[in-house]
């Protein structure tokens, strides 16, 4: 059977395959000038693996400086075998945004990460404390790990035990801008919806603490020297939640557009600061794209694209704020309860 294709179809104008990938420049030399052709792969920025790797850190503090936006690998970090300094954990800080983080084979480490656009994987690690904000978190084959986290999807654990989750409560310069750059919102956190792929019979493999994560005085000072603050301040922009119970909480909300994301978010942060000044406590917050929900769940949202909702405890008498907000009325309490059940029980994805 003969082929009906002509060689001309594969070699139109005498072009070679590699010529399709040439990077053309204004005023580039013509082939007859003798300059070698340049291709797209010749113009790629050279990647140094050392910029995205932390390994073999033992009983010391490393504030890793690298190129933001790429993946990060942390491996084989632990307390030293030297008896003179075995009391001291390894402390690793990478205060830049990342695309993905993998933590492998770490023992007795404190790891503080900037916002991650994708997933944080923790594997074969024990007796570590990790602070992170990310789109997804997964642990596998881990034991006795404390995780302070802000995550819009369910954290997932597998073949892990004695894992304790905390609401992320920290700040450092540029954290807010970095979170915005990777699409993370401070008022959305699914830490209470942990999923265990390998649940144990009897004692659960994880707990979610209502109390803030606490460090030793020495560890807290190490983080402070490196610009990371864990203690509450009036300038906090990530909500700090209370463990107290309130059978009659107050629900207030603001409405707006989906874009720009930070416009409505900045208004919510102003409300958060006013709530703290008034002595009220934050029980929960929700940042919701209303178009993704059944309209019957949010009749109070109207045609707005986005809703940020606060569940508060305490008196509104001292709440003074320059940002306009609305309170959930008695008529809207029934759909609100259905909305909260939906938001708290909704699976990721």
Mean per-residue pLDDT, 59-69: 87
Question: What's the CATH code, domain 50-226?
Answer: 2.160.20.70
Is residue 190 within 8 Å of residue 154, measured between CB atoms?
yes
- List, in sequence order, every beta strand (DSSP E) within the chain: 53-55, 61-63, 71-75, 90-94, 100-104, 109-113, 116-123, 126-140, 143-150, 156-158, 161-167, 195-196, 206-208, 250-256, 281-289, 306-313, 326-327
* Residue 22 labelled as part of a binding site: no
Kindly compute the dihedral angle of the four CA atoms of residues 275, 151, 288, 345, in this order, to the nearest 10 degrees.
-110
1, 104, 221, 223, 250 from 190: Cα distances, Å: 62, 24, 29, 25, 21
The three-class DSSP label of residue 310 is strand
d(CA 96, CA 65) in angstroms, rounded, equals 8
pLDDT above 90 (res 319): yes
Tell me the C-alpha distance between 82 and 84, whole Å.
5
- How large is the average pLDDT for residues 324-343? 90
Quick check: bond before 202 cis, omega within 30?
no
The verdict on whether residue 138 carries a ligand-binding annotation is yes
For residue 320, count CB atoms less than 10 angstroms from its CB and return exposed for 0-12, middle for 13-18, buried for 19 or more: exposed
Confidence (pLDDT) at 348 = 35
Domain boundaries, the chain: 50-226, 250-344
On whether 136 is known to bind a ligand per the annotation, the reply is: yes
pLDDT at 6 over 70: no
Q: How many helices (H) and strands (E) does the chain have?
A: 5, 17
Q: Is the pLDDT of residue 69 over 60?
A: yes
pLDDT of residue 266: 94
Asked if 107 contacts 126 with a C-beta cutoff of 8 angstroms, the reply is yes
Ligand-binding annotation for 118, yes or no, is yes
Q: What is the CATH number of domain 250-344?
A: 3.30.70
**Looking at residues 43-60, what average pLDDT do you find?**
79
315 is in an annotated binding site: no
Lowest mean pLDDT among 30-44, 90-104, 144-158: 30-44
**117 annotated ligand binder:** no
């Amino acid at each position: 059977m003969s082929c009906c294709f002509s060689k001309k179809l594969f070699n139109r104008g005498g072009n070679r395959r590699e010529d399709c990938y040439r990077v053309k420049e204004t005023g580039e030399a013509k082939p007859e000038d003798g300059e070698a052709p340049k291709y797209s792969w010749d113009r790629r920025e050279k990647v140094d693996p050392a910029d995205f790797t932390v390994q073999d850190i033992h009983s010391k503090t490393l504030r890793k400086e690298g190129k933001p936006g790429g993946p990060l690998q942390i491996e084989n970090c632990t307390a030293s075998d030297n008896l003179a300094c075995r009391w001291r954990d390894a402390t690793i800080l990478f205060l830049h945004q990342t695309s993905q983080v993998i933590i492998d084979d770490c023992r007795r480490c404190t790891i503080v990460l900037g916002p991650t656009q994708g997933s944080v994987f923790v594997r074969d690690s024990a007796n570590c404390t990790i602070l992170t904000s990310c789109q997804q978190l997964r642990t596998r084959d881990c034991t006795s790990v404390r995780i302070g986290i802000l995550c819009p999807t369910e954290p997932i654990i597998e073949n892990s035990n004695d894992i304790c989750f905390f609401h992320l409560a920290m700040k450092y310069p540029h954290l807010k801008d970095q979170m915005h750059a990777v699409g993370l919102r401070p008022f959305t956190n699914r830490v209470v919806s942990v999923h265990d792929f390998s649940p144990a019979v009897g004692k659960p493999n994880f707990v979610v603490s209502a109390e803030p994560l606490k460090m030793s005085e020495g560890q807290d000072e190490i983080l402070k020297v490196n610009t990371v603050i864990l203690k509450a301040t009036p300038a906090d922009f990530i909500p700090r939640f209370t463990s107290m119970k309130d059978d009659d909480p107050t629900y207030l909300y603001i409405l707006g557009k989906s874009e720009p994301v930070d416009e409505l978010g900045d208004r919510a942060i102003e409300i958060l600061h006013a709530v703290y000044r008034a002595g009220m406590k934050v029980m929960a917050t929700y940042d919701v794209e209303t178009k993704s929900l059944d309209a019957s769940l949010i009749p109070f949202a109207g045609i707005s694209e986005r809703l940020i909702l606060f569940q508060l405890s305490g008196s509104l008498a001292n709440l003074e704020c320059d940002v306009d907000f609305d309170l959930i009325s008695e008529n809207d309490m029934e759909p609100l309860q259905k909305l909260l059940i939906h938001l708290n029980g909704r699976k990721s994805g």
